[in-house]
Amino acid sequence: MRASEQFVERYYTDDLAEQESPESKWAAQWAKEVRGSCVLNAACGPQLFNDALAFAETPRHLVGIDANATNIEFLKESELPDILKAKKFLAEHDVNVHLLLNDVREHNPALRRHFDTVYVSGLIGSFDEADTRATLRMLSAYLKPGGRLVIVSWAEDYLSKAKLEERRRYHWYERRDFSPTDIHKLLRVEGFEVLKHDAYRPDNPREYEWGLIYGIVANKPT
């Protein structure tokens, strides 16, 4: 899959421009749940480097997976000041970064039992049930026993027809009717224990384009 360069760059800059909004601040608190020296950011999009700056601890090894080649190229090549600043910070802290063009539903044996935390923002809830379960199973396989999965997701969208079509075309987002409770159930079916969860309803969902944001921290038992 390949989104246009303009789409990826706009997605990245819009996200940064919203950083001080109550919604973004609420969502960002979940990044503080990410800890440990080996971290996987699954479906990282163009935010891989910026997300890492918000983690509770700076990891030694950071892996970003995304199925969209334009995201991987953007992360490698973009010279936007915020990307360069984040990359510089990670380099100064000796963070080993790997970028993988990979579908999260497909098993990558090299990642097995490798990570202290898997962070997945903006993906869970946009697949059907079978693919959500396959994704959770893969992410569980990549965690060390006792590792944690940190989920942040947006739901109940108010995207225009054109925006939704564009996101569908790029396999970026699909409208589904999963609730956080449905996701908790699937997490349990896949062997996770939910440690912490919360949800936030924006005051002006039509303007914000989302009616619900939720976060979940789950544990892979030892």
Amino acid at 152: V
5 SS3 class? helix
Least Å distance, CB 192 to ligand SAM, is 19
**Spatial distance between the Cα atoms of 180 and 168, rounded to a whole number of angstroms:** 22
Binding stretches for ligand SAM (CB under 6 A) = 15, 43-45, 47, 65-68, 71, 103-105, 121-123, 171-173
* Closer residue to ligand SAM in complex, CB, 15/166: 15
* Closer residue to ligand SAM in complex, CB, 57/106: 106
Q: Which of 148, 1, 117 is nearest to 66 (CA)?
A: 1
Least Å distance, CB 211 to ligand SAM, is 16
* Closer residue to ligand SAM in complex, CB, 38/124: 124
Q: Kindly report the number of other CB atoms within 10 A of residue 124's CB atom.
A: 26
Least Å distance, CB 171 to ligand SAM, is 5
120 SS3 class? strand
As a dihedral over the C-alpha atoms of residue 71, residue 97, residue 112, residue 30, rounded to 10 degrees, the angle is: -70
Amino acid at 176: R
Least Å distance, CB 127 to ligand SAM, is 7
Give the residue at shortest CB distance from ligand SAM.
45
* Closer residue to ligand SAM in complex, CB, 47/117: 47
Do 147 and 221 contact (CB within 8 A), yes or no? no
* Closer residue to ligand SAM in complex, CB, 71/78: 71
Q: How far is CA 98 from the centre of its chain?
A: 16
Least Å distance, CB 10 to ligand SAM, is 12
